[in-house]
Chains A and B, each alone.
Chain A
Amino acid sequence: MTLDPITLTVIQSGLQQVCDEMDLSFSRAAFSPVIAEANDRSDGIYAAEDGSLIAQGSMGLPVFVGVMQFSTAQIIKMIAAGSVIAPEPGDIYIVNDPYLGGTHLMDVRFAMPVWRDGKIFCWLSNTGHWPDTGGAVPGGFSASATAVEQEGLRLPPVRLFKQGTLDPEIYAIICSNIRVADQRIGDVKAQAAALYVGQSRLTRLLDRYGDDTVREAIAELRARAAQQMRAHIAQIPPGTYRASAFIDSDGVVNEPLEIRLAITADSDQLTFDFAGSSAPCVGPMNSVLATTHSAVYLAMRHIFPDVPISAGAFEPLNILSPEGTFLDARYPRPVSGCAAEVSQRIAEAVFAALVGPLPDLVTASPAGSSGNFALGGEVPEEGRSYVMYQISGGGYGGYAGGDGISNGCSTIGISKAPPVEIMEQQFPVLYHRYALHEGSAGAGKYRGGFGLDYEVEVLKGTARASFVMDHGRTGPQGALGGEDGGANRVEVTQGGKSFVPEHLSKAQDIALSAGDRVRVRTPGGGGYGPSAERDPALVAEDVRLGRITTEAAQRVYGKPSPDDC
């Protein structure tokens, strides 16, 4: 190697900085709260030849770890094959086709080549979650879709910006097919601006160190990331580790879907085999291949957070083709649940398989649901319609260092949930409760965290409620003798009568009118280690604070004895 290790480190942090600046500028300028506040977006740098990941922003949404390398690779392939028009400087492609290396339709990708001396040096790409891309329901999470066309507008890679200028014709087509189109222009400009920011920062880096040096550094960094990941994997004793995770249903057919995972550790490499997982499903709980890979990557990054996100880090992770299962769905299978829910069940399977061999690094299963509750309503007397989203967290798994935290963010997210006061300002609803889901923590030496328990009433007009959640049948898995966390529970009160939706955690278009209520209790985290080993003082504290009942404490922990209370 001719490159000194110090220049290498400096270029590494320089590339990281380019991505972080793209992330920051995208969020700051974006309109949609889902991007601006929830940071449901990601930015990265990709190789010119094959789209492989060079660097990705550290503030990106975790579910996008590695994803854009698949869509960039597709664009490069299609350009080579002549099925996509080759770019000129200043061109930006837009694409959201899930089957071309994507997630669900709402995750819209931009990709732009960076030119040096008339040639493409690398690609910059970003993804932003658009609040709507058309389809049967506002927001795109149709729990009962049976084909991708019902989920929204599907865009192949086309040049939305040509030589730096927005193509008004393509844009007009998009706007005619999505809801609240008048606000999208702000997000589109923000998404493009982030790529321009990245381009100017990357150009500065290249000018300073020279294209050849940076190219050499990129290759070397890739090798080093692989080396670092291999060193971590080497601490896993050789063997095959199995686990399953279950999705309540696909939203259409009321049967659980199984993710069956066998991870084989062989010195410094892990092989992920999903053979035996359920077949592609009728409803929208399918995953596409890029999302399945990304879910494995993000789970591994939760376990080894110090390895930089790059193609090198993924090299030692050998994911066998899940062809024939719902984790590799093909056109026209509906896929809206892949990013928000299926990916989290995949991560849960990875955690559950590896907590045995890596008990100090892996936690019991977290709630692992984005808890999407969408309410689309109308207030005729005010001439007003609205779409409200309530996302929610759940308990995290217990772990070697202590109890899981309560109401943690989804495994694949980093976004905050909106405050009740903001929801009530914006929508004609009233929250009656926003509280701990008492009793939901999985028991264990270190118990899980608690889920959330909220109840909301429609104050005016009419509305339709939809739910895309999970863990309604069984709670998140306990580990090493710990017990499962409490399950998710949705309860709708309609005209004074309460019921639980047929699919428990998934439902669409439940008609509500003023006075009707929805109550959601989200899952608690799995327990870690046998509950008999729990410190009695901690059990007594949970009883004293009303987080668990005395009866539950005695039943599960055998303590505190009635005398202690």
Chain B
Amino acid sequence: MTGTNRLGGRFAGIDVGGTFTDLLHYDSKAGQVRLAKVPTTQDNQADGVLAALDAASVDAAALDLIVHGTTTTTNAVLERRLCKTGLITTMGFRDVLELGRRTRPQAYGMSGQFRPLIPRDLRLEVPQRMLADGSEYRALDEHALRAALRQLRDEGCESLVIHFLHAYANPAHELRAGQIARDVWPEVNLTLGHALLSESREYERGVTAAVNASVQPLLRRYVERLADRLAARGYARDLLVMTGNGGMVSARIVAEEAAKTVMSGPASGVMAAAFTGRRAGIADLLTYDMGGTSTDVAMIRGADPAVSHEIEVEYAMPIHVPMVDVRTVGAGGGSIARVNAAGLLQVGPDSAGSTPGPICYGRGGTEPTIADANMVLGRMDPGKLNSISGDISIAAIRDSFAGKLGDPLGLDAQSAAAAVLRVANAKMADAVRMVSISLGEDPRDFALFAFGGAGPLHACAIARELGVPRVLVPARPGITNALGCIVADLRHDYVQTINTPLDECGMAAVHQAFAHQTEEGRRAIGREKVNIAELRVVHSVDMRFIGQTHLLRVPLPGPAPTREDLQQRFEDAYFKRFQVTLPEIRAALVNVNTSVIGRRPEVDLSLLIDADGRRNTLAEAQTGTRPVWFDDWIDTPIYWRDHLPAQATLTGPAIVEQMDCTLLLEPGDRAVQDADGNLIVTVAGQG
């Protein structure tokens, strides 16, 4: 590509969220950042994308790169607006997608619904069979295959999955069937079961393939439409689309592996957090993204986000492709507070959502929520109530707290609101702790990275509950996902299953697998035509003791480990995780993994807040005071984030407001602004 062999250029990161489409335009030559936030246009997200470009006065023709985060596939999956898709599978196994793994939606309660992604009449069987060792048990009946292809085509299917048992061990039948399908039905959107995920477990692999096939045409049409409209504005470069592993892929090929974009939104936020933390010298982070209806949590170790291959997007819908491991926990601003039959205050799990939303939104909500509690206690600006809602008064919200919660609990309105926050924060802290522990780490070893509309309002209290010493609040918490589009790495992940006792493993084959994966990754990144500052290759293995089912990921320093080396590293990692040694039992090598990561050029985050707008003193940055409840009403100084002086230090109680976000420092919390404009909060009361 021209002009990009050195750092710099003009980049636009555009993230489509549920409510807003955010744009971050970064011009390294001019040393300038421009931002825009416009309403998301759900019917055609491209309208919002172009509106965002207009709002920031960005000339598409002058851009070197656009990176785009879209929820097209996310929404299609969650709302089941899927393309008509057929399945051709092994004789006797067409119902795998309908039977699942024998589960129910919740541990207690015997009711609930499940709808398979592909209906039974579009799931056809053909004679063929591979065995677990990859040998052919029964040849592929090509005649039956052709008949099945014709039948699905005549049914009007737009997409097709070919998914055979044990294709991860030997894909020959899937490959041959794919070839025939392309011959007789060239226009079909085809997904082979082993192509995205070459691992055993027929339900998970089948669902992953079915999700991919059934959103593929939607994503293809959307990115083509967007690329055309950008081209019409003179944008001549490649459009890149964010994927769920925190990497990105060219719009030209992204639809081939459409399933990889399903969880891309949360992933880009985590990538931005990792990047911001690395520059701030805080490499170990728990991200805390609190929105209106839910809260997303992820873990970053050594500036690398944890990646999982086993995400279940909703009940019985596993998508087993590498994704940043983002867990949705507990409550959001819209979570409703109630007193239950036991007389105990409960926050959530019911949510007022965005319609009617909290009472303070003024859209007809009547149930007290977390957001309303923040309003009653002065943590959010009650003066802004009118601008949000029109005719809801703070008195009306207080009455709701007094009547619905205060009376049964014997509390006045503000004590009831404070109780809601205390319960909510304790609950969210518990949820964050469970995420951390399930990933094998003590949360106290991490800093909390707070973003999303409500994250910084609760982060210090939650950090205190968790015993987390520091909170990092980035300069622009509300546009973190768009920043992720700018800073995310190019990334390709490879997994090869070996599944052999370690002492029987041919190490040459292991080394060869690493070499092959590395080569694949380098080639893939070479094709992306994007400027990268550094190419990193990260190797790891998944191991377990023979007889165990859970795997432990063991990072490796290079692609040529010895057998003894693997044994030792595994034992060390196992002891670190479980505090148990098991010299009695042999180890097995299950997977060989390589991630090839192209790190993008540095982005100067200090540009996120315009230096010219900064004031010289804290006093000049203060916009006023208001009473805020911290066990009692305290007249609390309010600051405007963009006006904070470069070397600001704030001590709580204090409130820092900015365009789309409010940070609350409780008494004793101390925030120091760093060179990038992040506020690093040292949380009071941590021993």
Contacts and interface: CB of A to CB of B under 8 A. Distances in A.
Interface of A: 5-6, 8-10, 12-14, 16-17, 20-21, 24-25, 27-33, 36-37, 58-59, 62, 182-183, 185-186, 189-190, 193, 224-225, 227-228, 231-232, 301-302, 305-307, 351, 363, 366, 391-393, 396-397, 399, 401-409, 411, 414-417, 419-422, 424-425, 430-436, 452, 455, 544-547
A263 to B, nearest CB: 17
Given A29-B578, A31-B548, A405-B104, A434 B201 contact: no
Contacts of B434: 17, 20-21, 24
Given A24-B437, A31-B547, A302-B108, A6 B345 contact: yes
Contacts of A59: 107
B25 to A, nearest CB: 44
B344 A434 contact: no
B426 interface: yes
Contacts of A414: 103-104, 107
Contact of B423 (A10, A182, A193): A10
Contacts of B549: 33, 36-37
Nearest to A305: B108
Contacts of A401: 111, 113
A190 B107 CA distance: 23
B465 to A, nearest CB: 9
B603 interface: no
B325 interface: no
Contacts of A30: 548
Contacts of B550: 27-28, 36
A306 B427 CA distance: 16
Q: Which of A59, A406, A452 has the most CB of B within 10 A?
A: A406
B110 A363 contact: yes
B260 interface: no
Interface string B201-212: 111100000000
B341 A228 contact: yes
A421 B165 contact: yes
A478 to B, nearest CB: 14
Indicate the member of B95, B201, B340 with the most A CB atoms within 10 Å.
B95
22 contacts: A5-B345, A10-B423, A14-B426, A20-B434, A189-B578, A189-B582, A305-B108, A351-B110, A366-B110, A392-B102, A393-B99, A403-B113, A405-B104, A407-B100, A408-B110, A416-B101, A419-B101, A421-B165, A421-B201, A421-B202, A422-B200, A424-B132
Contacts of A351: 110
B428 to A, nearest CB: 10
Interface in B549-599: 549-550, 577-580, 582, 584-585
Nearest to B102: A393
Contacts of A435: 92-95, 99
Contacts of A20: 434
A430 B131 contact: yes
Nearest to B343: A224
B387 interface: no
Interface residues of B, number: 68
Interface in B73-121: 92-96, 98-114, 119-121
B342 A228 contact: yes
A421 B202 CA distance: 7
A424 to B, nearest CB: 4
Contacts of A396: 104, 110-111
Contacts of A392: 102
Contact of A408 (B102, B426, B499, B548): B102
B545 A186 contact: yes
B137 A430 contact: yes
A133 to B, nearest CB: 17
Nearest to A312: B342
Given A366-B110, A396-B104, A420 B580 contact: no
B93 A402 contact: no
B346 A9 contact: yes
A20 B437 CA distance: 11
B202 A402 contact: no
A409 B104 contact: yes
Most chain A Cβ neighbours within 10 Å, of B106, B114, B426, B499: B426
A414 B109 CA distance: 11
B371 interface: no
B102 A13 contact: no
Interface in B177-200: 200
B423 A6 contact: yes
Contacts of A183: 547, 585
Q: Which 10 A-B residue pairings sit nearest by Cβ, starting from the closest?
A: A393-B102, A224-B342, A305-B108, A228-B342, A416-B101, A433-B92, A231-B341, A545-B120, A417-B102, A421-B200
A154 to B, nearest CB: 25
Nearest to B120: A545
B175 interface: no
B166 interface: yes
Contacts of B343: 5, 224, 227
B419 interface: yes
B547 A408 contact: no
A421 to B, nearest CB: 4
A418 to B, nearest CB: 8
B103 to A, nearest CB: 5
A419 B202 contact: yes
Contacts of A62: 107-108
Nearest to B552: A28
Interface string B514-549: 000000000000000000000000000000010111
A430 B132 CA distance: 9
Nearest to B110: A363
A482 to B, nearest CB: 14
Contact of A13 (B101, B201, B430, B499): B430
B92 A407 contact: no
B2 interface: no
A29 B110 contact: no
A185 B582 contact: yes
Contacts of A24: 434, 437-438
Contacts of A6: 345, 409, 419, 422-423
Nearest to B96: A434
Given A189-B582, A434-B92, 17 more contacts: A9-B346, A21-B437, A28-B577, A33-B549, A36-B549, A183-B585, A306-B340, A363-B110, A399-B111, A402-B111, A405-B112, A405-B113, A406-B99, A408-B110, A421-B132, A425-B499, A435-B99
Nearest to B94: A435
B292 to A, nearest CB: 23
B173 interface: no
A356 B615 CA distance: 71
Contacts of B341: 227-228, 231-232
B379 interface: no
A408 B95 contact: no
Contacts of B427: 13
A407 B101 CA distance: 8
A58 B349 CA distance: 15
B297 to A, nearest CB: 15
Contact of A228 (B107, B202, B340): B340
Interface centre among B345, B422, B423, B547 (most CB of A within 10 A): B547
B113 A402 contact: yes
B433 interface: yes
Contacts of A422: 200-201
A328 B547 CA distance: 36
A10 B428 CA distance: 11
A445 B111 CA distance: 15
Interface string B465-491: 000000000000000000000000000
B451 to A, nearest CB: 25
Interface in B340-357: 340-346
Contacts of A28: 438, 550, 577-578
Interface centre among B107, B109, B584 (most CB of A within 10 A): B107
Nearest to B115: A405
Contact of A425 (B132, B342, B433, B437): B132
